[in-house]
Amino acid sequence: MNSFETDIENCLRVLQSGGTILYPTDTIWGIGCDATNAAAVEKIIELKNRPANKSFVVLVADERELMKYVASLDLEIFNYLDKTTKPTTVIYEHAIGLADNVLAADGSVAIRICKDEFCKHLIKRFRKPIVSTSANTSGMPAPAIFTAIATVIKNGVDYVVQHKQDVITAASASSIIKWNKGKAEVIR
């Protein structure tokens, strides 16, 4: 079995048991867990020493999955996303079916449709959205490459993905927009 498939299998086992993973996303390395499991999300909050009221980014594999977790979705967002070249996280109002501690206080959620092969494969096999938060403790810079991730983070998760650890090209975070009545408001 190749390392890609081994990583997928190990991630699935950990995610299904409510654990946390350190994995390469379509942007920077992230800490992830089942976005529908509040206890798993709590583990990430503790590991990152993060304020409990701060929301998370959630990754889904495709448009159909997005529609399961956002009530009254404006389908025009898909035309907008088709024209973007950089990974784009969208803040949607009225999240449904996700752990409460993933959401913002107003019930909104930040979701990105992932185009990365590893993430897409993992999410499709897991059949649930996965949390994606930068692999750092709260207040520290987000690491652009695997070797910049602090040991406390590497040791604090239940599984560290081997895939892409040797990539030395610095990655950057996604764009973030808020979709409001057919218009994109750029947040980052």
Query: Between these two residues, 19 and 85, which has the higher pLDDT value?
Result: 19
Tens of pLDDT, residues 22-68: 999 999 999 999 999 999 999 999 999 998 888 999 999 999 999 99
pLDDT band at residue 179 under the 50/70/90 scheme: confident
- Predicted pLDDT of residue 174: 93
CATH number, domain 3-186: 3.90.870.10
The residue extents of the domains of the chain are: 3-186
pLDDT band at residue 1 under the 50/70/90 scheme: low
pLDDT of residue 80 exceeding 90? yes
pLDDT of residue 77 exceeding 80? yes
- Predicted pLDDT of residue 171: 87
pLDDT of residue 117 exceeding 80? yes
This prediction has a pTM of 0.95
pLDDT of residue 72 exceeding 90? no
pLDDT of residue 177 exceeding 60? yes
Map 137-160 to HEC letters: CCCCCCCCCHHHCCHHHHHHCCEE
